[in-house]
Structure 1
Amino acid sequence: MADKNSNSLVKNASILMAASIISRIIGLLYRRPLGQILGGVGLGYYGFASNLYSILLLISSYSIPMAVSKIVSEKLALKQYKSANKFFRGALLYAVIVGGITALICWFGGQFLLPANQQNALPALRVLAPTVFLSAILGVLRGYFQAHRTMTPTSVSQILEQIMNAVVSVLAAWILVRSVAGQGDTAAAVYGAMGGTLGTGAGVLVGLLFMLFVYGINRNYFRRRVERDRSSQEESYGEILRMMLWMITPIIFTSFIYNCSAYLDSYLYSSLQGWHGFDADAISSAYGEYSNYFVPMAGIPLALASASTSAMMPEVSGKFAVGNLSGANRQVSQTLRLSMFICIPSAVGMMVLAYPLMGVLFPSSTALAARLMIFGSVYILTDAFSIISGGVLQAIGHQRTALVNAGISLGANLVSLALMLLAAPQLDIYAVLISNIIFSFVCCIANIISMRKLLGYRQDIRRIYVEPAAASAVMGILVMLVYYLLFRLTRRPFIGLLVAILAGMLVYLVMYVIFSHTTEEEMYSYPMGGRLVKILRLLHVYR
């Protein structure tokens, strides 16, 4: 049974990871032409609008998939199908009400939420108002299918959403910028940012239509299962509402705190640097480099950690609900090991290849984006652990603990940012980066303490961290040598970058097996384990 559960987690995590990688790659590719169309100031407006939109999205929908997945998976583990179906309907009603209210706040209250010197981002923010409403409904559908341990619908919808987002964002930005040609750089930046956010809404709409299509196909199966359920356990809608307020609200506020730091950081950064006399366009440009170049790059491995967490939650929730603590701990350890197996080499690779990566992917970026990547690579590791550990606390029913830990971390983040900018304004955007590292580090420590107390969890430091770190160190040295040697020979950064990345992946895989003594049977438990074993056999690591 343990192997079956382990394979289920790996399979679901692999599906979500693959979708996350594809979605993030698409996101990176379209940011290159989008950045060239918008320019530095336009990217700043786009970043400010997107950050505030993310905060509003958190309130209305961001954590709904996680919450619905947790509660419905518990009902399914207990075979309470009527209750699970009724909670699904109640969650949809909740999403419509909360999503609608939040969308109205986005449209009518945006000017009060944006910094005073960044009001040019308001039109882009208002374009996102309908998206807030649609995302809430989409979140319920994704969480419902994840609770059934079926990750394919969510994954496909994410890919379709990102493709539509990319196409419409670039096309709409180009059309709107051309429509105001000759009216000045400010008008072009404002209209370009509006086009970029229009793509976000188009993507969410396509994702929602796909999920409704999938639900329609499976609707008869869900109905028959409910009809066969003879259990007497079925909550009233009033009880469901109380359950949602008791369980979903802390999850929403925890996710809100995790992600609102980006909005609050941008607000503090813009306001304090403006108070020091920095030019508003210079502030927008620097923040644009951070939010549109560094953050998406760091978001690739972090998306994999988030995908692992989404796959882990129904597994851990189900085991915890029936009192299987050892099984829950095994799933947590496997999730952390899978995530760090990917996140640690990703952080090292991004650090040593920061300049060519930013130069090839984002030609309009400056050296600032590369330096942010170098100094910010540690953020990938601390934030990945904070995401997973926060998901563990929520999965075992301790949402309030996760909320308190996140609140403490947010306080450390904001205090450190304010002190740095007040005492050393020359740190500029680096202060935002440092404060985010402080946030995730404090959250890691708090969550570790809570997991030990509530779940009795003990980390295997060597297997989770030391082994991938040792393999990544060797990989990083080789990758750097390969790239700069090929660049000196060819003067073509793309060729050197491609060869260095491929060589780095092979070297990391081999060195990881050597350092960790991972057997062929154990390697099958990793994402795409069968293919990894074939590669290792070709390299004569396995015989």
Structure 2
Amino acid sequence: MSKDSLVKGTLILTVAALIARFLGVFQRFPLVYMLGNEGMASYAIAFNLYSNLLVIATAGIPSALSKMISERTALGRMDEANRIYKAALIFAALAGVVMCAILFLLAPHYAESSGDPHATLATLAIAPALLVFPLIAIMRGYFQGRQRMMPNGISQVIEQIVRLITAVGLAYLLLGVSLDWAVAGASFGGVTGGIAALAVMLYYALKLRKEDRRTLPVSEPVYTETGQSRQSGGKLRYGQIYGQLLRLSIPIVIFSITVTLIYNIDSSTIIPLLRDQIGEAKAKDIVGILGGQAQSLAGLPIVLAIALSQSVVPIISGAYSRRDLELVRNQSSRVMQLAILSGLPMVLAICTAARPLSGMFDYGGTPTGYEYGPPMIAMMTAGAMFQIIMQTSGAVLMGMGKMRALVSSVVFGIAVKLLGNLILSPWLGIYGILASTMLCFIVMSAFNLAVMRNVVSFRIMARRRWTRLIVTAAVVVVIGVFAERLLFEHLHLFPWRVVNATVNAVLIGGLACALYVILLFVTKVVTKDDIKTFPAPLQKLYAKAGRVLGRRG
């Protein structure tokens, strides 16, 4: 892949992922208003279980498929590429049917064990999505391998738009029947969104097939060592294809499932762990706050940081395969630095604006939401900073081919999470559970970075710059918290509490981000050499900020 096409592809996926994530967060606002924290608890329990089964159903194959398709396309072996694609589609269809059936069977038992039997109907409503999304994932992997990013980006956006309209519309219509049916209607939005995304992918697949027929030459026969001709139908057996796909994908799926598994652990254990401390109703409210507010907002900083770092990971992979360890060292330092610097401003913005952001959800309509919403959002988002480091360092390990270390990291992290929940929840309640999530990401980050340093000696930033970055973050937090309290007490421009909260959230978030960028230059955390290594959009942003401060170059 050329540098231009790599940057263009990364930009398309970044913009699409950001739009899709913001649409996903926006969808939560009307749902929280209609369903409340109680309904959002049932929604979160159903959605988190579905997400785990979806990751297992696709088995990390899209990433492996993308690699295999890209290699064969580059060699002009389109017959093999298409056969691999067909085999992956068959696998996805069968896996989708199996996982859908499992979800149907597990729904009542899982909901009961999670402490919320009302989540059963919502789980059943989202189960058919497992018939569709494995196919979509495989098609996205194929298009990525063919260096066609636009279908993937458009399908993500269309999926979220249709999901939003259906989820909100059905929840509103079914609220008159019962809360359980309204939550089920919201869950069913995942099914309609998947159907819409599949329609987009099929359109582009047909379009690509017509283009291939016009532009691609007929593949020449490929001969084996015995001299036998292997035409397109017999080049690769499905057993060979599945063996190669699974070898590549199993470590990827183990790493990819980490965050969804952690979310699933929380949504399924909070009520059993906390019901004796605070009561079942309040514990269920907390699950609703976590799934409806905290997890959604904490996911925003991850998108930009990870997407920006992805453009460097293929360079690390190529350099490591050539044993160019100096390039691996330089790129590892830069990708980690870029992920931290680009993820931190949104983390700071959400943490300082946690109260007005929770107010935008009207705190879920309960006193529990007012009490727990803001601190849960702030704590969950602060932990996202370590998630950024964990996922970026994990991507670098993938580039280095250190799959066994990656799996070990996940095992250690999940063990820490489970032990942390059991040990800290009796002592700190929900904050102990959130602390165990943060501790899990810290352990995994430390493990990943240690493995990376065993391969190449690198450092993300000099100690002096770390100190300056910490000072920058501390100043932003202090000023942001002071400004938030001032606005909360004195700025009430409108008679509607939710509108005032929205205005305050925008002002506080904007102040935190602007102050962060300015202080990066004032404290010299970002240097002239660093800016040259950043993606073009960030180069322009920092150049403008530098000109404002009278700093050239």
Same fold per TM (> 0.5)?
A: yes
Give the aligned partner of residue 392 of structure 2. Answer: 388
Distance 1:528 1:99, change over 3 A: same
**Distance in 1 (alpha carbons) for counterparts of 2:218 and 2:33:** 56
Give the aligned partner of residue 423 of structure 2. Answer: 419
Tell me the secondary structure at the aligned position of residue 118 of structure 1: coil
Whether the 8 Å contact between 1:28 and 1:361 is mirrored in structure 2 is no
- 1:206 equivalent in alignment to 2:196: yes
Unaligned runs of 5+ in 2: 225-234, 494-499
Give the aligned partner of residue 35 of structure 2. Answer: 38
Tell me the secondary structure at the aligned position of residue 458 of structure 2: coil
Give the aligned partner of residue 197 of structure 1. Answer: 187
1:114 CA displacement: 3.1
Q: Which runs of structure 2 are paired with 1:102-181 in the superposition (5 Å)?
A: 102-116=99-113, 117-178=115-176, 180=177
Distance 1:74 1:474, change over 3 A: farther
Give the aligned partner of residue 85 of structure 1. Answer: 82
**Distance in 2 (alpha carbons) for counterparts of 1:395 and 1:232:** 32
- 1:346 equivalent in alignment to 2:351: no
1:298 CA displacement: 0.4
Q: Deviations over 1:235-270 (max 9, x none)?
A: 432211111222212322332344212222333332
Distance 1:459 1:84, change over 3 A: farther
Structure with larger RCO (C-alpha < 8 A, sep 6+): 1
1:215 CA displacement: 2.2
Distance 1:166 1:232, change over 3 A: farther
Give the aligned partner of residue 259 of structure 1. Answer: 260
What TM-score does the superposition give when structure 2 sets the normalisation length?
0.85
Distance 1:62 1:429, change over 3 A: farther
**Distance in 2 (alpha carbons) for counterparts of 1:468 and 1:392:** 23
Whether the 8 Å contact between 1:350 and 1:377 is mirrored in structure 2 is yes
Give the aligned partner of residue 407 of structure 2. Answer: 403
Give the aligned partner of residue 185 of structure 1. Answer: none
Q: Which runs of structure 2 are paired with 1:318-329 in the superposition (5 Å)?
A: 318-321=318-321, 324-329=324-329
- 1:215 equivalent in alignment to 2:205: yes
Give the aligned partner of residue 21 of structure 1. Answer: 18
What TM-score does the superposition give when structure 1 sets the normalisation length?
0.87
Runs of 4+ aligned structure 1 residues displaced above 6 Å come to none
1:400 CA displacement: 3.1
1:526 CA displacement: 4.3
1:284 CA displacement: 1.5
Q: Which stretch shows the higher mean deviation, 340-349 or 62-71?
A: 62-71
Give the aligned partner of residue 377 of structure 1. Answer: 381
- 1:272 equivalent in alignment to 2:273: yes
1:86 CA displacement: 2.8
1:382 CA displacement: 0.8
Distance 1:314 1:226, change over 3 A: farther
Give the aligned partner of residue 230 of structure 2. Answer: none
The one-letter code of the counterpart of 1:398 is K
Q: Which runs of structure 2 are paired with 1:236-255 in the superposition (5 Å)?
A: 236-255=237-256
Unaligned runs of 5+ in 1: 181-187
**Distance in 2 (alpha carbons) for counterparts of 1:279 and 1:176:** 28
Distance 1:525 1:278, change over 3 A: closer
Q: Which runs of structure 2 are paired with 1:302-341 in the superposition (5 Å)?
A: 302-308=302-308, 311-312=311-312, 314-321=314-321, 324-341=324-341
Distance 1:541 1:231, change over 3 A: farther
RMSD of the TM alignment (CA)?
3.1
The one-letter code of the counterpart of 1:199 is G
**Distance in 1 (alpha carbons) for counterparts of 2:317 and 2:77:** 15
Q: Deviations over 1:149-178 (max 9, x none)?
A: 443322222111111111111111111112
Distance 1:331 1:219, change over 3 A: farther
Distance 1:256 1:412, change over 3 A: same
Tell me the secondary structure at the aligned position of residue 417 of structure 2: helix
Give me the identity figure in percent: 24
Distance 1:45 1:361, change over 3 A: closer
